[in-house]
A and B are shown apart, each in its own frame.
Chain A
């Protein structure tokens, strides 16, 4: 492989897109998860939970626009192939995102009697969006197989991803709240972890089994040795987090952010595994990132903007999280 721009640019954009997807999954993961946990929360708790994500969700969801945007602008052929194959789940994802996005604002602005309705819509939208994302992941992992087996597997992953998001949501609630709600969230986290682990194992096994090419990438000596930290570390983190759920919350609220960071680390490891499996393909076993990429001169133009803007985005995202740091209080406009 020679390192010239036509080779490098698609690689860089694949990396950026991967980064955007990972950040999206972690950030929108926790606010989708909080939507899912709405079903288990009392009225007053729901307000606190909303306050814990209120200032962030717009920006969180924008990472999805960036991820899909990068797929669209950098790999237009792949964007078309993947999204036409996943037409119905994408459509459901969008309906879910629309419902929860607007419910978020409506529930705070309608007359008090109608709030319940929008709370339910918020829950429903979050569940639909999470399930649709999981289903799409399952189908994608099997190489866009939309047969009966693919659909069954997609349904399994859908359930597990929703659970994983619920776990993220619970971890965020642990970080942002105190008292009874925080104790409740620890229980939520423990339950959701079981399905999360199951989902990661299912995807990790199905990916190499569905594609001999991916199988050969993982199970050859010495690659197996270099790759072994990924599953081992994930398993250790899972076990550790599971044990933690019996000790949280701790005195002085120590380690309240730890569950969230641990889950983020697990997500990152799982994502790295997927990235290794599929590289260099953007449409599994059909289109490589170089076959699907836009013209180098167009990618260069986008890259110029990206290297300026992305650090700024990351910097002020940190700033926004700091401004609204600490335990969640009532959200007010005035």
Chain B
């Protein structure tokens, strides 16, 4: 097969697998800090129990993130040498800063955060948690800066076919960067909230009514209920930003074939790229014009303006709809759960049953969102600078096929094992309830604040 398409599938598979774990660790770090600070403030050991349950998930997710991240740093060279040859002067420093300022901060203090509770003072342990959480977020900052620059490149000039930086401030804070960063950080927050809420709901269904379960459940549900409307607003702003800087992506997301006013909002369709039209279209009249231009007669860009130079319509159109649909579902579930927890101090069983599969809704929405924006950037690797086809390396298709097949099998197995362990940890916590011994918390009055 063609090494280009195989390399693309392989990179897509790797980065899809990778993003699942940072999506958890970025926000879970802060969530753990919250548990820790609540414990520091109240001395309530249930907070520490929640911390210890979720720090294991953090450790596992972090390990998965590290190993799949190492893979990424090699693949730039093995599969996409043209990328660094063309824009290395800009991508290089951003990647370097990601590794330097962030990766190390996380990796070095992780040991203390995970295993150091009984070895260092409570203050240092809290500090280690802060640094790990800050490190994951800084990591996200730099990598999002690079990704956004590839979407909306500015602050550089081309000399002999190679990009040279002229304004680093403009490169880092490029037009789409603030929107994408906020959107991604909120996505991570939602992923973790639903994961915690979902696994706590699983514990609830297994009869666990322990204080640590309630605390985790409430934290997950309330955080989700607060973040989801903010995320919907941030996503809308990001869409308007994309309309300004990458109109062809919006045209594909809306499956709008012709530029013009009064563009409908397509709810369902099977976009047919050969015929350049939508099959089985179900649409709200003037909807897209209203959302994107705030006027029924607003002109929305269409794919006809970008013939041969726009992304494949079908995957972008559907990935976007899956993301938005999941978001709406998240709003409904988190607000209902928040209502019952706040007003009734209980959780109806059917709602708990829905919340368990919703534990993975964050992953689904995050992946769908990234597919929208990354496939939506095609055929460009760096918009207007480098096409994906020109970056692929001189490796034989058979070699890429071999590595791709093994990666796919490996990732599938690891994902199954990962989810298996999450469920096992949740059920184990459900069985232990508030009874498991906490030697580090209960028996160390000298180094820890006295427990209640």
Q: Say whether B84 contacts A79, CB under 8 Å.
A: yes
Which B residues are in CB contact (< 8 Å) with A80? Answer: 77, 81-82, 84-85, 393
Q: Say whether B410 contacts A98, CB under 8 Å.
A: yes
* A58-B63, A98-B414 as given contacts; A69 in contact with B77, CB under 8 Å: no
Which B residues are in CB contact (< 8 Å) with A83? Answer: 74, 77-78, 81
Give Cα A283–Cα B68 distance, bound, in whole angstroms: 26
- Does A70 interact with chain B (Cβ within 8 Å)? yes
- Does A43 interact with chain B (Cβ within 8 Å)? no
Give Cα A77–Cα B82 distance, bound, in whole angstroms: 9
* A62-B103, A74-B92 as given contacts; A55 in contact with B111, CB under 8 Å: yes
Q: Say whether B116 contacts A297, CB under 8 Å.
A: no
Q: Say whether B89 contacts A295, CB under 8 Å.
A: yes
- Does B357 interact with chain A (Cβ within 8 Å)? no
- Does A147 interact with chain B (Cβ within 8 Å)? no
Residues 2-19 of B at the A interface (beta carbon under 8 Å): none
* A106-B417, A109-B56 as given contacts; A98 in contact with B96, CB under 8 Å: no
Mask: chain A, 72-107; 1 = CB below 8 Å from B; 0 = not: 111011011111100110110011011101101110
Residues 308-334 of A at the B interface (beta carbon under 8 Å): 309-310, 313, 316-317, 320, 323-324, 331-334
Q: Say whether B108 contacts A317, CB under 8 Å.
A: yes
Among the 9-residue stretches B176-184, B198-206, B308-316, B433-441, the one with 4 or more Cβ atoms under 8 Å from chain A is B433-441
Which B residues are in CB contact (< 8 Å) with A334? Answer: 48, 52, 117-118, 438-441
Give Cα A182–Cα B25 distance, bound, in whole angstroms: 37
Question: Once A and B bind, how many residue pairs between them come within 8 Å at the CB atom?
Answer: 222
Q: Say whether B73 contacts A68, CB under 8 Å.
A: yes
* A94-B70, A313-B104 as given contacts; A73 in contact with B110, CB under 8 Å: no
* Min distance, Cβ B181 to any Cβ of chain A, angstroms: 19
* Min distance, Cβ B1 to any Cβ of chain A, angstroms: 16
Number of interface residues, chain B, beta carbon within 8 A? 75
Q: Say whether A98 contacts B84, CB under 8 Å.
A: no
- Does A244 interact with chain B (Cβ within 8 Å)? no
Give Cα A332–Cα B55 distance, bound, in whole angstroms: 11
One of B67, B92, B393 near A97 (C-beta < 8 A): B67
Q: Say whether B109 contacts A320, CB under 8 Å.
A: yes
Which A residues are in CB contact (< 8 Å) with B92? Answer: 72-74, 76, 294, 298, 302
Secondary structure of the A side of the interface? helix
- Does A225 interact with chain B (Cβ within 8 Å)? no
Mask: chain A, 209-230; 1 = CB below 8 Å from B; 0 = not: 0000000000000000000000
Secondary structure of the B side of the interface? helix
Q: Say whether B424 contacts A110, CB under 8 Å.
A: yes
- Does B93 interact with chain A (Cβ within 8 Å)? yes
- Does A178 interact with chain B (Cβ within 8 Å)? no
One of B88, B90, B410 near A95 (C-beta < 8 A): B410
Mask: chain B, 114-129; 1 = CB below 8 Å from A; 0 = not: 1111111000000000
One of B76, B96, B111 near A306 (C-beta < 8 A): B96
One of B73, B119, B403 near A87 (C-beta < 8 A): B403
Q: Say whether B115 contacts A333, CB under 8 Å.
A: yes
Residues 113-165 of B at the A interface (beta carbon under 8 Å): 114-120, 162, 164-165
Number of interface residues, chain A, beta carbon within 8 A? 62
One of A102, A111, A320 near B64 (C-beta < 8 A): A102
Give Cα A331–Cα B97 distance, bound, in whole angstroms: 32
Which A residues are in CB contact (< 8 Å) with B414? Answer: 98, 102
Residues 36-65 of B at the A interface (beta carbon under 8 Å): 48, 52, 55-56, 59-60, 62-64
Q: Say whether B89 contacts A333, CB under 8 Å.
A: no
- Indicate the member of B84, B407, B414 with the most A CB atoms within 10 Å: B84
- Does B385 interact with chain A (Cβ within 8 Å)? no
Which A residues are in CB contact (< 8 Å) with B55? Answer: 333
Give Cα A27–Cα B64 distance, bound, in whole angstroms: 20
One of B101, B394, B399, B406 near A305 (C-beta < 8 A): B101
Give Cα A82–Cα B77 distance, bound, in whole angstroms: 8
Give Cα A83–Cα B101 distance, bound, in whole angstroms: 25
Q: Which residues of B contact A (CB under 8 A)?
A: 48, 52, 55-56, 59-60, 62-64, 66-71, 73-74, 76-78, 81-82, 84-85, 88-93, 95-97, 99-101, 103-104, 106-112, 114-120, 162, 164-165, 168, 393-395, 399, 402-403, 406-407, 410, 414, 417, 420-421, 424-425, 438-441
Q: Using A55-B111, A55-B116, A317-B108 as known contacts, list a sample of 9 further A-B pairs with CB atoms less than 8 Å apart, ordered by residue number in A.
A: A62-B108, A79-B81, A79-B84, A98-B68, A101-B67, A106-B60, A305-B93, A332-B115, A333-B55
Q: List 18 A-B contacts (CB under 8 A).
A: A55-B112, A55-B114, A65-B70, A68-B77, A72-B95, A82-B77, A97-B67, A97-B70, A98-B71, A295-B164, A298-B90, A298-B164, A310-B100, A323-B112, A323-B119, A332-B118, A333-B117, A334-B52
Top 10 A-B pairs, shortest CB-CB distance: A80-B81, A55-B111, A73-B92, A83-B77, A76-B84, A76-B88, A101-B67, A298-B89, A79-B77, A98-B67
